[in-house]
């Protein structure tokens, strides 16, 4: 889809993602193909604390970036001079982690005398539905309904114009990934909780325990497409306080039932939106989009509604730099690394000035 790049657009991009606990780098060519991308996960460093520690994260980014950058360029068979644009994650995320990526990107762009752009991490997740493993970026039939589910965010987006997103609704409390992470902790499972719960759920009965499905369907209009997961977490906590032995005797059933409640709460809103909006593609992105049960239900919903399905490739669901390159490519808003007044935006939302990262 990118054969028609504007003449001034950088062709070969290098992207750096450091918003949280993954250091990620990617190269994207002029066709939107990603010949090399690397993700260094700091999970082992944070596991002893049961969650991400910001100081540890930024130190890990600083150590990981220089050797990773060299390795990615070598693996792509490129010379540094081939890079025509550098993209970095400007927000949202941990301020100190974002700063490490921005500093590297800025130094590189300055040295390579090429333009730079600050990307919105959520915009990156949203455009990740277009990334393919071996080709360029694919076209999506619009309007698309995108369920963006990560550790920090749960949003329902409407894409009517390419790479522009309207927020239909989001979580009022915990994110879906956060609900899985907290639930796993209560069950005595490891971090991150999503994959742990999914693994144990495989042999369990999803109907064994009746957990709440978040907000009832008929909410006030402004909350129609919103989510809530705090009640689910509380109900697990209450159950395990009453019967702590369930953690041993019924772990698989607990995991399967809890996962089912998270997936159902998401699907309730997705199906409502599919029923009421003129959608042509149902899409899903973010770390939780790796979940097989969620993928299965989304696929069934798309079939039932007769719309196309665009689930982000599992390899591009969790935080990665290919999606940052994709966002930079699609928005094509570049700045001079010296003149630009660059900064990070730890609380940056989606739709807030997303297409104009520099002032
Ligand atoms: O998008 P992501 O990598 O990071 C953020 O931007 O937050 O998402 C991380 C979240 C974590 O909550 C993790 O438990 C969840 O994605 N996750 C999963 C699976 N793999 C990762 N949740 C359910 N099933 C999975 N297979
Ligand atoms: Zn993310």
pLDDT per residue as tens digits for the range 128-170: 999 999 889 999 999 999 999 998 999 999 999 999 999 999 9
Tell whether the model's pLDDT for residue 335 goes beyond 50. Answer: yes
Q: Which atom of ligand 1 is nearest to the CA of 198?
A: 24
Whether 291 lines ligand 1, by a CB cut-off of 6 Å, is yes
What pLDDT score was predicted for residue 353?
A: 59
Which of 50-54, 102-106, 251-255, 276-280 has the weakest average pLDDT? 50-54
Mean pLDDT of the chain: 93
Q: Return the DSSP state at 298.
A: H
The domains of the chain, with CATH numbers, are: 13-133+317-331 (3.30.420.40), 144-312 (3.30.420.40)
Residue identified by tokens 């002032």 is: 359
Q: What's the average model confidence in pLDDT over 263-281?
A: 97
Whether 293 lines ligand 1, by a CB cut-off of 6 Å, is no
Give the whole-angstrom CA distance, residue 332 versus residue 126: 16
What is the share, in percent, of the chain residues with pLDDT greater than 90?
83
Q: Write down the H helix ranges in the chain.
A: 43-46, 54-75, 95-112, 121-127, 176-186, 193-201, 230-242, 246-249, 251-276, 292-305, 322-331
Whether 259 lines ligand 1, by a CB cut-off of 6 Å, is no
Each residue's pLDDT tens digit, 174-222? 999 999 999 999 999 988 899 999 999 999 999 999 999 887 655 677 8
What is the share, in percent, of the chain residues with pLDDT greater than 70?
96
DSSP-based three-state secondary structure for 37: strand
Whether 2 lines ligand 1, by a CB cut-off of 6 Å, is no
User: In whole angstroms, how large is the CA radius of gyration of the chain?
Assistant: 20
Ligand 1, atom 16, lies closest to the CA of 287
| 79-114 residues labelled b (16+ CB within 10 A) or e (exposed) | eeeebbbbbbbbbbbbebbbbbbbbbbbebbeebeb
Q: What is the largest CA-CA distance in the chain?
A: 66
Tell whether the model's pLDDT for residue 274 goes beyond 50. Answer: yes
Q: How confident is the model at residue 354 (pLDDT cuts 50, 70, 90)?
A: low
Q: What's the average model confidence in pLDDT over 60-82?
A: 97
Whether 174 lines ligand 1, by a CB cut-off of 6 Å, is no
Closest CA to 155 of 289, 21, 261, 353: 289
What pLDDT score was predicted for residue 1?
A: 43
CA of 176 to the centre of ligand 1 (A): 9
């Amino acid at each position: 889809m990118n054969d028609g790049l504007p003449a001034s657009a950088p062709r070969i991009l290098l992207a750096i993602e450091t918003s949280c606990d993954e250091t990620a780098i990617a190269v994207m060519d002029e066709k939107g193909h990603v010949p090399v991308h690397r993700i260094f996960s700091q999970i082992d460093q944070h596991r002893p604390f049961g969650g991400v520690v910001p100081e540890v994260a930024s130190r890990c980014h600083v150590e990981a970036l220089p050797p990773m950058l060299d390795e990615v360029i070598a693996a792509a068979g490129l010379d540094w001079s081939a890079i025509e644009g550098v993209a970095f994650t400007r927000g949202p995320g941990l301020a100190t982690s974002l700063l490490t990526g921005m500093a590297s990107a800025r130094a590189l762009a300055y040295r390579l005398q090429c333009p730079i752009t600050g990307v919105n991490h959520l915009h990156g997740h949203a455009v990740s539905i277009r990334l393919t493993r071996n080709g360029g970026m694919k076209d999506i039939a619009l309007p698309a309904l995108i369920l963006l589910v990560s550790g920090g965010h749960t949003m329902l987006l409407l894409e009517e114009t390419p790479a522009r997103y309207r927020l239909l609704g989001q979580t009022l409390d915990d994110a879906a990934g956060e609900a899985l992470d907290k639930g796993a902790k209560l069950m005595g499972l490891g971090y991150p909780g999503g994959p742990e719960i999914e693994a144990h759920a495989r042999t369990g009965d999803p109907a064994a325990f009746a957990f709440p499905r978040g907000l009832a369907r008929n909410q006030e209009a402004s909350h129609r497409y919103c989510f809530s997961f705090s009640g689910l977490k509380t109900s697990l906590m209450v159950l395990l306080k009453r019967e702590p032995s369930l953690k041993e005797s019924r772990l698989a059933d607990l995991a399967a039932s809890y996962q089912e409640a998270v997936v159902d709460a998401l699907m309730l809103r997705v199906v409502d939106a599919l029923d009421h909006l003129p959608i042509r593609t149902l899409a899903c992105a973010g770390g939780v989009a790796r979940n097989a049960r969620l993928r299965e239900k989304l696929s069934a919903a798309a079939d039932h509604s007769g719309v196309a399905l665009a689930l982000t490739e599992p390899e591009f669901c969790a935080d990665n730099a290919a999606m940052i390159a994709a966002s930079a490519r699609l928005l094509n808003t570049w700045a001079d690394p010296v003149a630009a007044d660059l900064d990070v935006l730890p609380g940056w939302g989606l739709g807030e000035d997303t297409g104009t990262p520099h002032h």
